[in-house]
Amino acid sequence: MNHVDRGDQIRSYTSYQHRFRRGPWQALLWSFLLDVALANSFILQKKTRQPHWKPYSTLRAWKEAIYNAIFNKYGTGSGARKRYRTGKEEDSEDLKARQIHLQRDINHVYRGRNSSSPCLACKGLRQGQPRPPKKAKKGGYLQPISRNARGRVSRYGCKACDVAICNNADCWYLYYTPI
């Protein structure tokens, strides 16, 4: 019990290069348990050949194989919306859902004090239209911020889409008109 076993030795060769967000003790516990499980499964696959696995000689290759298998199995069936899309995508093709969104007096609600976001219609975007990816800042991230090109920020939005739209009625109808 007081000696370093093979799993501890193998785990010491690899480490995570990213930080966790859940707090220091949870991150340490999660990191440790994940490392122990991966190291033990690596030792088992190396010692036993019964399920006819492809043999992996390093823990790093074994981790990559496990991660790729998990991503291939569960990564494609995500129900999340596509990246850089505005609003719900299923509503952009459905005419009945689009008509429900046009009822501004019902769907335009106050989203809360702490949920101020840029108005998408003021940016010129419409529902279902791809958003441009965020551009890297010129000259680095530690440059002073210019207040000249500040966008319009709103605490109001659509209740059905959960999208920020300001109080201007033109913005509401611009966002929900078909492209």
Tens digit of pLDDT for each residue in 117-152? 888 888 888 877 777 766 655 655 555 555 565 667
For residue 151 the two structure tokens come to 């966008």
Residue 48 one-letter amino acid: T
Q: What is the structure's pLDDT at 111?
A: 75
Tokens 């019902």 label which residue?
106
Domain spans, the chain: 6-74, 89-132+152-176
Question: For the chain, how many helices (H) and strands (E)?
Answer: 7, 5
The single-letter code of the amino acid at 130 is P
Query: Can you state the angle between helices 24-47 and 59-74, rounded to 10 degrees?
Result: 110
Distance CA 115, CA 29 (A): 32
* pLDDT, position 150: 61
Q: Which pLDDT score, from 0 to 100, does residue 90 have?
A: 56
Predicted confidence (pLDDT) per residue in 22-78, tens digit: 566 666 777 788 888 999 888 888 888 777 777 888 988 998 888 888 888 877 665
